[in-house]
Structure 1
């Protein structure tokens, strides 16, 4: 039995996918076509020259590795902290628990731009300017409120009777967290990790604010500035670099797609 997608969903999918198509098309267009006054949504003479310029950049590989380090660190640390914090807020009874939960929501309402200058001085006082730590720490902090709020529903969905049965069978708290609760809330962990990965990998504001002069610590979003010159912008290079930046996110998304769907379903139920 086959199911037909409604025309509305197809239209939305086309609108969402068109920027990606245009980016990939621009990466393969020759210079004459991409700079033409009459752009066309196709090309009859694709060229890999833009990708050659991107990979020909001496520092591009280092940018790529730095982005993976930042995104991977943010995902692992924020997911672990969010899991423990969501468990504490959901399972334990303590003073100011409701206040703490409200603070998680309030923290998400603060514009990131409003904190860039205070964070700059804080990173300077910590001696982390021009290091990847100045990107990792703020991104962990900004990922936690959303991750904790999202994981609360998954932890709450695990019956307390299961926890009591584990304790009766001799399992300690750490064993219960590691062997029982963690596998049960894994779809939620995957869903939150995807959002953390995307926000950390696409970070441009903090990279521009905190990494000032040390190009060896730059990330992929900063690499776009190499090709974007106000006087003579390399549009093909920008498109090709953006395409390369998109690939790790797509690969990560495809690998966790099944658990991501179930995780988002659990978040909606919360």
Structure 2
């Protein structure tokens, strides 16, 4: 009997060892491009273009970061990105929470048709909607404005936000609302004090998606903004590669690191709140 148990333990240990090795390999494959981007950002031009790979810069320099930060349109594009991302987050999350609450907690005619329509819109690629939205916004004189770009992003983010947060609302038992109604709470109080804290993880998850989508988008920003002063950071990042001057690889890698930092910082802040939100609605026995 002991031999059988020992054999099973050995099999479990071998399985865990193989799993850990595979996980380590996949982690290295995933993290290597990030490491190479950071590594290249500190290299001078002659080290970037050398045919022999250098896994550490022999002559580290901050020249690439200086060139990226003090480029003429960096601060303006950063301001544009922050305004557009903030507007997208506020509008998408506000509308998504209210719509998902209505579609999950209230029964009305046409609810299933709305859910099917939201799912169909979510299945469409964003590029398929680019030309129709462009034509509509052109008639409404929204092109080249913050509002137009924000609404374009919200149109792409909102179906996903509604669908995800609706699942969180459906997971909340109706008994909590009934108990609150017995205690005299109205609909607004139930939403604000009971439902919203319980769906906080869903709100945070969709906010991450909305932030990353609005922050990373290049095509819509480049198409909808008419003047260079209204471009966002993804368009600024593409300016390091031009047909006439070629590609400034060191500057582009430094710009990519700067471009990625707000996403990392936002995720770290949200991750801490995500754990708090998951326990905010815990019912004490």
TM-score by length of 1: 0.91
- Structure number with bigger Rg: 2
Tell me how far apart the structure 2 counterparts of residues 64 and 165 of structure 1 sit (CA, whole Å).
Answer: 48
In the alignment, structure 1 segments of 5+ residues that lack a partner are: 265-270
Tell me how far apart the structure 2 counterparts of residues 86 and 229 of structure 1 sit (CA, whole Å).
Answer: 44
8 A contact 1:90–1:155 mirrored in 2: yes
Tell me how far apart the structure 1 counterparts of residues 277 and 212 of structure 2 sit (CA, whole Å).
Answer: 16
Q: Structure 2 residue aligned with 1:48, among 47, 57, 62? A: 62
Task: State whether structure 2 residue 235 is matched by structure 1 residue 219.
Answer: no
**Residues 31-81 of structure 1: per-residue CA shift (max 9 Å, x gap):** 111122333332222111111111111221111121111111111211111
Task: State whether structure 2 residue 196 is matched by structure 1 residue 182.
Answer: yes
Tell me: CA distance 1:260–1:84, structure 2 relative to 1, closer, same or farther (3 Å).
same
Tell me how far apart the structure 2 counterparts of residues 38 and 109 of structure 1 sit (CA, whole Å).
Answer: 45
Q: Which residue of 1 aligns with 2:122?
A: 108
Tell me how far apart the structure 2 counterparts of residues 190 and 23 of structure 1 sit (CA, whole Å).
Answer: 28
Q: Which residue of 2 aligns with 1:193?
A: 207
Task: State whether structure 2 residue 89 is matched by structure 1 residue 61.
Answer: no
Tell me how far apart the structure 1 counterparts of residues 148 and 119 of structure 2 sit (CA, whole Å).
Answer: 24
Q: Which residue of 2 aligns with 1:96?
A: 110
Task: State whether structure 2 residue 50 is matched by structure 1 residue 36.
Answer: yes
Tell me how far apart the structure 2 counterparts of residues 159 and 220 of structure 1 sit (CA, whole Å).
Answer: 43
8 A contact 2:198–2:277 mirrored in 1: no
Q: Which residue of 1 aligns with 2:257?
A: 243
**Residues 208-263 of structure 1: per-residue CA shift (max 9 Å, x gap):** 11113x22211100102332112322111111111111000000111112454798
Tell me how far apart the structure 1 counterparts of residues 85 and 33 of structure 2 sit (CA, whole Å).
Answer: 23
8 A contact 2:143–2:149 mirrored in 1: no
Deviation at 1:193, TM superposition (A): 0.4
Deviation at 1:12, TM superposition (A): 2.0
Tell me how far apart the structure 2 counterparts of residues 221 and 67 of structure 1 sit (CA, whole Å).
Answer: 9
In the alignment, structure 2 segments of 5+ residues that lack a partner are: 1-15, 279-285
Deviation at 1:101, TM superposition (A): 1.2
TM-score by length of 2: 0.86
Task: State whether structure 2 residue 55 is matched by structure 1 residue 15.
Answer: no
Tell me how far apart the structure 1 counterparts of residues 148 and 154 of structure 2 sit (CA, whole Å).
Answer: 11
Q: Which residue of 2 aligns with 1:167?
A: 181
Tell me how far apart the structure 1 counterparts of residues 199 and 27 of structure 2 sit (CA, whole Å).
Answer: 30
Tell me how far apart the structure 2 counterparts of residues 126 and 37 of structure 1 sit (CA, whole Å).
Answer: 53
Tell me how far apart the structure 2 counterparts of residues 98 and 11 of structure 1 sit (CA, whole Å).
Answer: 45
RMSD: 2.0
